[in-house]
Amino acid sequence: MRDSGGPMDRLEAMSDSRPVRVRFAPSPTGMLHIGGARTALFNWALARRHGGVFVLRVEDTDTERNTAESLQSILDSMRWLGLDWDEGPDAGGEFGPYFQSERMPHYQAAIERGLNEGWLYRCFLTPDEAQAMREQHLEEKRPGRWENPSRELSIAEAEQRAAAGESFVLRFRVPLGREVHVQDHIRGAVSFRSDEVEDWVAVRANGMPTYNFCCAIDDAHMQISHVIRGEEHLVNTPKQVLLAEALGVAVPDFAHVPLILGADGKKLSKRTGDTALGDYIDKGYPADALFNFLALLGFSIDDKTTVFSRAQLVEAFDLKRISKGGALFDTDKLHYLCGEYIRQMEVPALTDAVLPWLRQADLVPETLPEGGVDVCGSRAWLEKLVAAMQERLGLLAELPEKAAFLFSEAAEHDDKAQKALAEDGARERVEAIAAALEAEAAFPPAEFGAWTKTQCEALGVGMGKVMKPLRAALTGTLGGPELADVLELLGRERALARLRALPLA
């Protein structure tokens, strides 16, 4: 008894001419999840694509678990990603308030109506009793929903028990024998039998309405045109549609985006890796790279484009191009994109971006020393460093570790470096270069490559015989930036000192 769900019934992009109003509705019970960030991104993109409005609505009906810090970190994460909202906290708007906890008057009116019209009823089952009935129904493998005795209570009796102080919740009276159709921009027509939908709790015993209740009412009141949310909400949709029908309000278009999966192929969770956007911020992923990556998870511009800007995404964004299957969170690709963005950045901007990490690693003080390229730690020197390291960086946070040797007095030689210096004649060649370097007026000598070649010829050996131990002595390892850059960043004093004070073999 379900529709085929074939491609034919996938909605056209804009099924009507309502202005585009979308919302992201996080609940402030934790950090912003990667999946939530992508959902927010898609909402934002649709609004920007159509010159619509992006609403941020805080779903804080769970008074037990809300925290102010969570809210703050969610807002911070969104701003960091560049997802600016037009209505919501700190932005205001004509459909506020934007905190559900402050919208009780709206809900109260609906509650009274529901009670009067009979589509809400008082249920006196305790949570345990309700759970037991649900389980028993499951155990008996009976079709449809479990039967709630409170559903058949007379209004008089229900009111009497309530007046006597008995605790109750308000449940939605799901109509029997209905077929609920949901039009979804990503999945086409999806339908549910109402007999499969349980009489869900609309208002808790403490008087606070639940998610499904508030959500449908707010979406209607805020004139939301498209609800773009995670696929885990697909099964909630008939509840919200039925409520909207009872209330006689508009039902938005839906677009349920596939889940982001962890390495285990299941919904991304803390078990399989970091799930909060904040974790990635802390690890030194540039915002543009993360934005690009998130967009790529489930969306594609065409068959070739993988690196694109926000503007390009906005220009190309279309719900029809969101894929239906879940996507694994591929850290390799994320890492690649980061490198790509780091290499694209202008040196001054990259220097700014990397500064916090240098400070955190204690390589650089709050206030940079004055001076030019010759002053270690100065702005000019740092830009030189960044330029030299740029194409070797995968993450912003990698710089301190990779560049530490340029900040220290002496080099720490690793095994490979020691081995290189232990080779026959290596130390002598390093000393010869040190002497030649000292004799030069310019430091490092101009045309360093050519200069070195001349030195090698004078010594009668190949480049490798000189460069390798020289690098080992200078940097303490065998990889890294060009030696001319290393020399310049080290400066005459430090560089020569390193060449003169080789580690004992």
Partner RNA sequence: GGCCCCAUCGUCUAGUCAGGCCUAGGACACCAGGUUUUCAUCCUGGCGACGGGGGUUCGAAUCCCCCUGGGGUCACCA
Interacting positions 218-247 with RNA (CB under 7 A): 231-236
CB 207, min distance to RNA, A = 9
Rounded to whole angstroms, how far apart are CA atoms 86 and 24? 11
Find all residues with CB under 8 Å of 249, minimum gap 6, and list them: 216, 217, 220, 221
CB 158, min distance to RNA, A = 14
CB 451 within 8 A of CB 500: no
Residue 242, token pair as written in the block: 């039925």
Binding mask 244-283 toward RNA (x if CB under 7 A, else -) reads --------------xx-x---xxx----------------
Closer to RNA by Cβ: residue 52 or 480: 480
- Does 199 bind RNA (CB under 7 A)? Our answer is no
- Does 419 bind RNA (CB under 7 A)? Our answer is no
Rounded to whole angstroms, how far apart are CA atoms 379 and 375? 9
Q: Which stretch binds RNA (CB under 7 A): 41-49, 217-225, 461-469, 494-502?
A: 461-469
Binding mask 4-23 toward RNA (x if CB under 7 A, else -) reads xxxxx-x-------------
Binding mask 467-496 toward RNA (x if CB under 7 A, else -) reads xx--x------xxxxxxx------------
Instruction: Kindly identify the residues of this chain, within the stretch 340-379, that bind RNA according to CB under 7 A.
Output: 340, 343
Please report, as a single letter, which amino acid is at residue 144.
G
Query: Nearest Cα to 5, choosing from 193, 179, 186, 188?
Result: 188
Query: Nearest Cα to 230, choosing from 84, 33, 30, 46?
Result: 33
* 430 to 16, 70, 498: CA distances (angstroms): 76, 57, 10
Rounded to whole angstroms, how far apart are CA atoms 365 and 360? 9
Closer to RNA by Cβ: residue 307 or 375: 307
CB 119 within 8 A of CB 203: no
Query: Containing H/E element for 23?
Result: strand 21-24
Q: Which residue matches tokens 């080992």? A: 472
CB 480, min distance to RNA, A = 5
Opening angle at CA 256, ends 251 and 257, nearest 5: 155
Size of the site for RNA (CB under 7 A): 96
* Residue 17, helix vs strand vs coil: coil
Rounded to whole angstroms, how far apart are CA atoms 502 and 216? 73
* Of 91, 205, 314, 368, the one binding RNA by CB under 7 A: 205
CB 12, min distance to RNA, A = 9
* Residue 148, helix vs strand vs coil: coil
Instruction: Kindly identify the residues of this chain, within the stretch 60-79, that bind RNA according to CB under 7 A.
Output: 61-62, 65
Closer to RNA by Cβ: residue 255 or 502: 255
Instruction: Kindly identify the residues of this chain, within the stretch 138-157, that bind RNA according to CB under 7 A.
Output: 138, 141, 143
> How deeply is 230 buried, as exposed, middle or buried, from its count of CB atoms within 10 A (0-12, 13-18, 19+)?
middle
Rounded to whole angstroms, how far apart are CA atoms 280 and 285? 6
* Of 45, 55, 120, 125, the one binding RNA by CB under 7 A: 125
Closer to RNA by Cβ: residue 309 or 323: 323
* Of 339, 361, 404, 414, the one binding RNA by CB under 7 A: 339
Closer to RNA by Cβ: residue 99 or 368: 99
CB 18 within 8 A of CB 226: no
CB 113, min distance to RNA, A = 20
Alpha helices in 50-187 (DSSP H): 68-81, 104-117, 127-139, 155-163
Residue 403, token pair as written in the block: 């560049």
Closer to RNA by Cβ: residue 44 or 299: 299
Closer to RNA by Cβ: residue 266 or 369: 266
Query: Would you call 270 a catalytic residue per the annotation?
Result: yes
Catalytic entry in 266, 267, 270, 468: 270
* Of 304, 367, 439, 460, the one binding RNA by CB under 7 A: 304
Closer to RNA by Cβ: residue 36 or 52: 36
Active site residues: 270
